[in-house]
């Protein structure tokens, strides 16, 4: 299949992009980029390109790489904020080389996207730049809400719309724009990607409630510690800490297990996970419905299958 072959070419480009005149930066960048990953965002870009009538994948491989590198850079920075020690089944850059070099690695990856995007139109550059801005806004909102104890359903969805869905939307819009898609097609793919991104993050947070680190390939429980996933578990409840009463000794326990118990408050992990998966299925179905505006094609079939894969995954 053309997309699978192109994704292999993408891997080669990602490793070459990691090269640096400073050996340590090359080492840290290859460590995280070479660890693999789901590659959902570049796959989405390539499928959107094909679904919109694009044919020459060589034209958009650097675009797909830019999207994946932006995503990977955010993971490196997230691991600093979260004190994560495991990512994509490997020790994090932060854990192995320390926070300073991890910060610089994330910065380096962000700046490498400038070179990848330089040959492309202003329109394509703006799509990715706006998504990168949204990512930082979402991360900031998340940390602020977790610290202030102001997590609720509305805040949660505002955060994941920026932190996750925005880059999904950018991937689809970049693929469609590169294929010179008509406006109706571009809108459909953009809406598909938005709903797919929300579904993806809902499942991520559901998995964080009950999966183990080996299964996820990253530290389990970190998302709970930050407050993410509360809307999934509580269906609109506020985060623990949103109270004026003094904290008890038990409430001062900030282990993932203790935080999980306080977040769930009378709901089992199984019940919370079921609610989250049900909501994710709703968003995935809304994503699939957007595809009706596109001409039938193998790429559209794969986009439909991708929506199912996103909500049925276990890691």
Predicted local distance difference test score (pLDDT) of residue 217: 60
Q: State pLDDT tens for residues 111-148.
A: 999 999 999 999 999 999 999 999 999 999 988 888 88
Closest by CA position to 273, among listed 210, 219, 230, 218: 210
Predicted local distance difference test score (pLDDT) of residue 246: 34
Answer whether residue 240 shows pLDDT above 70: no
The arithmetic mean of pLDDT across residues 244-253, rounded, is 41
Closest by CA position to 49, among listed 32, 37, 62: 62
Q: State pLDDT tens for residues 44-78.
A: 999 999 999 999 999 999 999 999 999 999 999 98
Least confident of 94-108, 119-133, 162-176: 94-108
With cut-offs at 50, 70 and 90, classify the pLDDT of residue 290: very high
With cut-offs at 50, 70 and 90, classify the pLDDT of residue 2: confident
What is the 3-class SS of the chain, one letter each residue?
Answer: CHHHHHHHHHHHHHHHHCCCCCHHHHHHHHHHHCCCCCCHHHHHHHHHHHHCCCCCHHHCHHHHHHHHHHHHHHHHHHHHHHCCCEECCEECHHHHHCHHHHHHHHHHHHHHHHHHHCCCCHHHHHHHHHHHHHHHHHHHHHHHHHHHCCCCHHHHHHHHHHHHHHHHHHHHHHHHHHCCCCHHHHHHHHHHHHHHHHHHHHHHHHHHHHCCHHHHCCCCCHHHHHCCCHHHHHCCCCCCCCCCCCCCCHHHCCCHHHHHHHHHCCCCHHHHHHHHHHHHHHHHHHHHHHHHHCCCCHHHHHHHHHHHHHHHCCC
Q: What is the mean pLDDT of the chain?
A: 85
With cut-offs at 50, 70 and 90, classify the pLDDT of residue 35: confident
Predicted local distance difference test score (pLDDT) of residue 248: 41
Predicted local distance difference test score (pLDDT) of residue 137: 96
Q: State pLDDT tens for residues 214-227.
A: 555 656 556 655 55
With cut-offs at 50, 70 and 90, classify the pLDDT of residue 275: confident
Percent of the chain with pLDDT strictly greater than 90:
60
With cut-offs at 50, 70 and 90, classify the pLDDT of residue 236: very low
Predicted local distance difference test score (pLDDT) of residue 299: 97
Predicted local distance difference test score (pLDDT) of residue 216: 58
């Amino acid at each position: 299949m053309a997309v699978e072959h192109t994704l292999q070419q993408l891997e080669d480009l990602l490793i070459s992009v990691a090269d640096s005149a400073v050996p340590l930066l090359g080492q840290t960048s290859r460590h995280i980029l070479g660890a693999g990953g789901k590659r959902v965002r570049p796959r989405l870009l390539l499928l959107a390109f094909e679904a919109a009538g694009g044919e020459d994948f060589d034209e958009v491989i650097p675009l797909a790489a830019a999207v994946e590198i932006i995503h990977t850079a955010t993971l490196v920075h997230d691991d600093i904020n979260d004190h994560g020690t495991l990512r994509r089944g490997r020790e994090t850059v932060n854990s192995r080389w320390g926070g300073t070099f991890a910060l610089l690695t994330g910065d380096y990856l962000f700046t490498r996207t400038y070179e990848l995007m330089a040959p492309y139109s202003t329109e394509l550059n703006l799509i990715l730049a706006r998504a990168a801005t949204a990512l930082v806004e979402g991360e900031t909102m998340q940390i602020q809400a977790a610290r202030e104890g102001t997590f609720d359903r509305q805040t949660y969805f505002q955060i994941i719309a920026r932190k996750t869905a925005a880059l999904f939307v950018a991937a689809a819009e970049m693929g469609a724009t590169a294929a010179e898609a008509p406006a109706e097609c571009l809108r459909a793919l953009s809406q598909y990607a938005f709903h797919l991104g929300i579904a993806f993050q809902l499942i991520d947070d559901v998995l964080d409630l009950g999966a183990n680190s080996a299964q996820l390939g990253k530290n389990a429980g970190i998302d709970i510690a930050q407050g993410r996933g509360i809307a999934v578990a509580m269906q609109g409840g506020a985060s623990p800490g949103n109270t004026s009463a003094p904290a008890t000794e038990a409430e001062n326990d900030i282990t993932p297990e203790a935080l999980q118990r306080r977040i769930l408050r009378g709901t089992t992990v199984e019940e919370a996970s079921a609610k989250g998966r049900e909501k994710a299925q709703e968003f995935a179905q809304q994503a699939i419905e957007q595809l009706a505006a596109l001409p039938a094609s193998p790429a559209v079939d794969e986009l439909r299958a991708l929506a199912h894969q996103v909500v049925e995954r276990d890691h």
